């Protein structure tokens, strides 16, 4: 711990919004809607496989962990050590404060694009199967009219293929497998 950081415990209750993925499509953290607003919470390594694809958007949860506060800048980083189910509005006994219910995340009206590398190195690593899985998932969810699939050229990360870019977020993913498609679509659309 640096000389400008202070570490304390925290407990937050709120609605699970989405998983946050790393560039290699593994669960890294979660977004949680709380009465203080939307929070990003990094998951401890031990929690990542356990809660991957278990939580559904809108589920009320309580997160316990620790926070690091940079005393110089005031920036706070949250890290979860435990996640438990919670009652709507949180499990605190202080019911004097009004509980703010958050609306379901609005569907994005902006059209998106998913670009998939189709050069030989990425094709050898399965980009065509990823393209096919994406196309099927979009058609099954009815998003094929909103989200355009587009082949693209090399992005310079050939050994980490198949490579994929999600627009308008400009998020890049490497080593994408067909099983990662659901997480990527949930994260961005």
pTM over 0.75: no
- Highest CATH level, class, for 112-188: alpha beta
* Per-residue tens of pLDDT for the chain, all 189 residues: 567 788 899 899 999 988 888 877 788 899 999 888 899 999 988 787 766 667 788 888 889 999 998 888 888 899 998 888 877 755 443 333 333 333 333 444 457 889 998 888 888 999 899 999 999 998 888 888 888 888 888 888 888 889 988 888 888 899 999 998 888 888 887
Residue extent(s) of CATH 3.40.30.10 domains in the chain = 112-188
**Can you give the C-alpha Rg of the chain in angstroms?**
19
Give me 162's structure tokens.
């198949």
CATH domain 5-85 topology? OB fold (Dihydrolipoamide Acetyltransferase, E2P) (2.40.50)
Residue extent(s) of CATH 2.40.50.140 domains in the chain = 5-85
CA angle 67, 72, 74 (to 5 degrees): 45
Distance of CA 16 to the CA centre of its chain: 11
């Amino acid at each position: 711990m640096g000389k400008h950081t202070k570490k304390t415990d925290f407990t937050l209750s709120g609605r699970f919004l989405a998983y946050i993925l790393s560039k290699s499509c593994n669960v890294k953290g979660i977004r949680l809607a709380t009465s203080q607003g939307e929070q990003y919470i990094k998951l401890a390594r031990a929690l990542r496989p356990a809660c991957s694809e278990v939580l559904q958007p809108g589920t009320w949860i309580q997160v316990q962990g620790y926070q690091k506060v940079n005393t110089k800048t005031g920036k706070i980083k949250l890290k979860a050590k435990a996640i438990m189910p919670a009652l709507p509005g949180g499990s605190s006994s202080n019911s004097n404060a009004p509980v703010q219910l958050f609306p379901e995340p609005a569907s994005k009206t902006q059209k998106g694009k998913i670009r998939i590398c189709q050069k030989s190195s990425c094709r050898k690593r399965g980009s065509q199967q990823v393209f096919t899985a994406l196309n099927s998932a979009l058609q099954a969810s009815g998003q094929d009219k909103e989200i355009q699939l587009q082949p693209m050229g090399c992005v310079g990360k050939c050994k980490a293929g198949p490579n994929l870019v999600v627009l308008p977020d400009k998020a890049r993913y490497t080593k994408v497998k067909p099983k990662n498609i659901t997480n990527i679509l949930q994260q961005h659309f």
